[in-house]
Amino acid sequence: MPSDSAYGNLQNYKLYIRPNAHTHYGSPNEKKSVLSKHRQNVQNLLKIMSKNESMTTWDLAKISIPNDISKLREREKIYRRLLVGRKDKGKHSDGILDLGLVIKDGKSFKTGMADKYRLSLYGILYCIDVLDLTKNDIDKIAEKYVKVLPKVFGKWEYVKSKIGNKVYGIKLLANGLLADNPQIQIQYGIPFYELMSYIHIKYQKNFEYISEKKLAEQISYWFYINLLYQPIQKNNTINIGISNLNQIFEDDLELKKWFLVFCKESTKYYHERYKILRKSEIR
């Protein structure tokens, strides 16, 4: 994210960004017919952005109104106000940029200099959370935002070829379900809760600020750990450890190495915590 942004980790998304976005722009299962014109415009703009890479407001307007040049300039002004906010009688009204769902992403010099915009990682999660996207729509986001979330979207089609629709478990994260609840019932022997908890421990200092690269890393760890989830079963088909991910890792050793580094880091953390408890001589 840009250096002047101050957006936090996934806990921040759950507790602040997501509820605020719902308040300003609409929440899941809210019928479009009851949304204000402003909210409808925002959601329409975000949906266009979810299907495209970085674009200027003019380019976004051209997608919205492809065959009516007379209305194009007015639509471009609307999109600009939605993104950057507006001043009315000296008072500034926040835009989508201020909430963190969209960021500036370079300049265009096609017809003069103009800012380009794209969804932030929070914006991607909000779209998945609220806009009632189809699987094809989410696939499109993965295609257009590979560079933003490379460990997930850069592997999207490959991982989907291995595990199918489980990739759409990212919807749970978008819904604010961080899966860090110790009451989750999980098959014994799978370190789902331990690894999921360590994600939030690892990035706990980033509640108020996190770089886009680090946030992408946190989301990526969540994505693969979530694939470990296996409910308690009565049959003998039991996977232990991280063996549920073997079918993904068998043909991508680089991805496996990246994930194992995280696992070893978490093991070291818990081992150090255990040593402290043991030395405390609690009776």
Domain ranges of the chain: 10-124, 145-275
Task: Return the residue matching tokens 């471009």.
Answer: 76
Query: Tens place of pLDDT for every residue, the chain, 283 residues?
Result: 443 455 799 999 999 999 999 999 999 988 888 999 999 999 999 999 999 999 999 999 999 888 777 789 899 999 999 999 876 656 667 899 999 999 999 999 887 899 999 999 999 999 999 999 999 999 999 999 999 999 999 999 999 999 999 999 999 999 999 877 777 777 778 899 999 999 999 999 999 999 999 999 999 999 999 999 877 666 655 667 788 899 999 999 999 999 999 999 999 999 999 999 888 876 6
Q: How far apart are CA 247 and CA 249, in angstroms?
A: 6
Q: How far apart are CA 45 and CA 144, in angstroms?
A: 16
User: Can you list the pairs that 214-217 forms with residues at least 24 positions away whose Cβ atoms lie under 8 Å?
Assistant: 215/1, 215/7, 215/9, 215/10, 215/121, 216/121, 216/148, 216/149, 216/150, 216/151, 217/151
Helix, strand, coil percentages, rounded to 5, for the chain: 60, 10, 35
CATH of domain 10-124: 1.10.10
From start to end of 113-196, where are the E strands? 114-119
State CA 282 to chain mean position distance.
42
CA proximity to 26, closest of 162, 173, 131: 131
Q: How far apart are CA 32 and CA 84, in angstroms?
A: 23
Query: Phi and psi dihedrals of 116, rounded to 5?
Result: -110, 150
**pLDDT by residue (tens digit) across 257-280?**
999 999 999 999 999 999 998 888
Q: Work out the number of other CB atoms within 10 angstroms of the CB of residue 31.
A: 7
**Partners of 80 in the beta sheet?**
none
**pLDDT by residue (tens digit) across 111-130?**
789 999 999 999 999 999 99
Q: How far apart are CA 241 and CA 231, in angstroms?
A: 14
